Structure 1
Amino acid sequence: MFKFLHIGLLVFGAAFGISARAESVLFLNPGSTEEAFWISYSQFMQSAARNLGIDLQILYSQRQPELTLAQARIALQGPSRPDYLVFVNEQYIAPQILRLAQGSGVKLFMVNAALTPNQQALLGERADRIGSLVPNDEEGGYMMMKELIRLHPPVASDRQIEVLAFSGLKITPSAQLREHGMQRALAEHPQVRLRQLVYSGWTQQRAYEQARQLVKRYPEVSLVWSANDEMAFGAMRAFVETGKTPGKDVLFSAVNTSPAALQAVVDGRLSALVGGHFTLGGWALVELHDHELGVDLDQYGGRDRQIPLLQLVDKAHARQMLAMGKAPNYDVNFRQLSAKGRPASYRYPFDLQTLMH
């Protein structure tokens, strides 16, 4: 753990110590350097930072919240502080980061998971908290389940359609919200029965190990809902080992537009995919850059916003996104999205369509 921290903070200190040309931003990436989602998330942020002229540094915590807090402590209380700290309320650590930030002069922005209503009530308003951007996680979970049910072949009225669900971590807001969405969809379809929900910690290997047991326990399962792509692929591997064909005998869903997930949609192995929230960090930088320019974010859609980034990705979109992924700059002019000088009716066009122009 401390190897990552030491290396990351050496780079961090050097970068912010020498630069006075632009606003400096540190992003505490909660993911692993081996997770396709968090890597693509960082790449999109880097593309935005280059276009906007922002001095961006990114530190990964390898899914260890205690490492995120150690990184935050040095960033907020050390000698080389960024202008802005961008972070995720992963495993509900935001209150601790807000406490560390007290009096630091660093401005705070949350992405992907913001303060819960309870945390907000306890912490109150803070002048250093600039805002937050989160995706429509609950709706994403709902859309995936609805699409799986829509695609399932009709069954006799006296028969049930059986589902298995693979979620991330119980203490991660995005996992909980996606589960709520799934349960909402199931409530609309009494003929569809959830046999078991398991927590696979977002990892392919864990989902595979669990699915090997569950396939034996529930041989009639024909729908598999997963809260990310890695877990979907783990579950899929277990079903393939029993001789079942993904997309025919069993329909799978996933979240995240990783190249592997997009290819699985094109190939028909993934039947329902939602994605688009890897762009959140990049959009956040547009808002931070505007804040630096004196823009009042409240005038342009609110300081704390949920945006409908999670959308169903069909085969045509998947092919387009696979091609787009080969251009690492994403060909987005982030500067043009600025609200600076715009009428009060302007709303930031933060969606997949902006990417696929």
Structure 2
Amino acid sequence: MSKVLIACLWCLGAAYGAMAHATSVVFLNPGMSTETFWVSYTQFMQAAAKDLGLDLRVRYAERDANNTLAQAREVLQGSQRPDYLVLVNEQYVAPQILRMAEGSGVKLLVVNSALTPDQVQLLGARNGIHLIGSLVADDEEAGYLMLSDLLHQYGPVAPGQSLDLLAFSGFKTTPVAQLRERGMRRALAEHPEVRLRQLVFGEWSRERAFEQAMQLFKRYPQTALVWSANDQMALGAMQALQASGRLPGKDTLFSAVNSSPEILQARLDGRLSSLVAGHFTVGGWAMVLINDDAKGVDIGAYGGRDRQLALFQLIDVGQVRRLLGPTPSVNFRALSAQGKPASYLYPFSLQLLLR
């Protein structure tokens, strides 16, 4: 056998060995594989995994909690278990998945929707579950920021006058939706001049919100403000307002969460008055934590194992233009706590993409 061939085989073997020993991660994505938010979330996560050398697989549940549970069972009870499983407590599925993981040897990280206090209490101490922590954005603050900014955009209200508000929340059984609604109600309590006429559950769907808004705008023709817990419901409600002959951004002011190209464009052209975004980055930051944990870094020593990050921020027109432009690259490896001083805190922020 020639020396060249031996060298080639050695290189192939080394490459295979590196791949075989790459830390493996499965993400149970609760969203639709065609859903803008969850697709962009996954893309950012994949960029992080690639930069960090992680072997990431993503399974979409297509908004069906039963799919999530079936996928979890397959991952945790199959013959080729990953090193890590990343999950979302969408529709409160996390405790069932944690029970499945007991004794599996798979480490777990919860993102976006953490366990509720009641769930933590019910689970109790289970030594066979390797939960390395949770990583969530402050969804209550997102709901609060949206309505507060919407009122700022509207301007002062004359004494004795009131404003009619409609609100579109997500699934009733989603912690994220509940937290955003709680934030909206906190802002509402600070502004007695605003009357919440009705809150409906648009289930994150543009089509459902459109149908609901068509009826609501007839029922409440004086609606001045529309608060939406995501971008798709805001777009559906805008479409319904336009169908009634009125103009979003002029006759009625809208707010939304997320950073899909369509909602960014709506913010740019004035149809959307208030936009909050930033939490699509959570999956990418989760990859940094997993990579550090896999290398033996005590991630809890650098800000705790259960993290609520102030990722949400109001997006102005200049930031919209940056987000609509080429996606900036992030050096995820540089964010690692490995070799950093004890005072180091992971600098997870949307600002890393807006520089």
Whether TM exceeds 0.5 here: the answer is: yes
Partner residue of 1:292? 294
Q: Secondary structure in 2 aligned to 1:302?
A: coil
Mapped partners of 1:123, 1:305: distance in 2? 20
Partner residue of 1:122? 122
Q: 2:335 aligns with which of 334, 337, 341?
A: 337
Consecutive unaligned residues in structure 2, runs of 5 or more: 1-17
Q: Secondary structure in 1 aligned to 2:325?
A: helix
Per-residue displacement from partner, 1:21-45 (whole Å, max 9, x unpaired)? Answer: 3100000000001110000000001
Mapped partners of 1:302, 1:260: distance in 2? 36
Mapped partners of 2:330, 2:303: distance in 1? 21
Q: Secondary structure in 2 aligned to 1:81?
A: coil
Residue type at the aligned position of 1:277: H
Residue type at the aligned position of 1:278: F
Q: Secondary structure in 1 aligned to 2:115?
A: coil
1:1-357 equivalence runs, <5 A: 19-126=19-126, 128-324=130-326, 327=327, 330-357=328-355
Mapped partners of 2:343, 2:251: distance in 1? 49
Mapped partners of 1:34, 1:56: distance in 2? 19
Mapped partners of 2:71, 2:86: distance in 1? 12
Q: Secondary structure in 1 aligned to 2:289?
A: helix
Q: Give the deviation of 1:156 after TM superposition.
A: 2.3
Mapped partners of 2:108, 2:173: distance in 1? 22
Mapped partners of 1:343, 1:349: distance in 2? 14
Residue type at the aligned position of 2:24: S
Consecutive unaligned residues in structure 1, runs of 5 or more: 1-17
Identity %: 61
Q: Give the deviation of 1:155 after TM superposition.
A: 3.0
Mapped partners of 2:203, 2:116: distance in 1? 21
Mapped partners of 1:125, 1:334: distance in 2? 33
Q: Give the deviation of 1:125 after TM superposition.
A: 4.5
Instruction: Quote the RMSD (CA, aligned, Å).
Output: 1.1
Q: Secondary structure in 2 aligned to 1:280?
A: helix
Residue type at the aligned position of 2:124: G
Q: Give the deviation of 1:56 after TM superposition.
A: 0.3
Per-residue displacement from partner, 1:176-234 (whole Å, max 9, x unpaired)? Answer: 00000000000000001100000011000000000000001000001000000000000
Residue type at the aligned position of 2:110: M
Residue type at the aligned position of 2:332: F
Mapped partners of 1:101, 1:156: distance in 2? 58
Q: Give the deviation of 1:19 after TM superposition.
A: 4.8
Per-residue displacement from partner, 1:323-353 (whole Å, max 9, x unpaired)? Answer: 03xx3xx410000000001111111010011
Q: Give the deviation of 1:297 after TM superposition.
A: 1.1
Q: Give the deviation of 1:272 after TM superposition.
A: 0.6
Mapped partners of 1:351, 1:179: distance in 2? 23
Mapped partners of 2:124, 2:149: distance in 1? 39
Q: Give the deviation of 1:154 after TM superposition.
A: 3.0
Partner residue of 1:12? none
* TM-score, normalisation: structure 1: 0.92
* TM-score, normalisation: structure 2: 0.93
Number of equivalent positions? 336
Per-residue displacement from partner, 1:236-272 (whole Å, max 9, x unpaired)? Answer: 1111111211111110000001111111111111111
Q: Which range moves more in the overlay, 237-246 or 173-182? A: 237-246
Mapped partners of 1:150, 1:316: distance in 2? 19
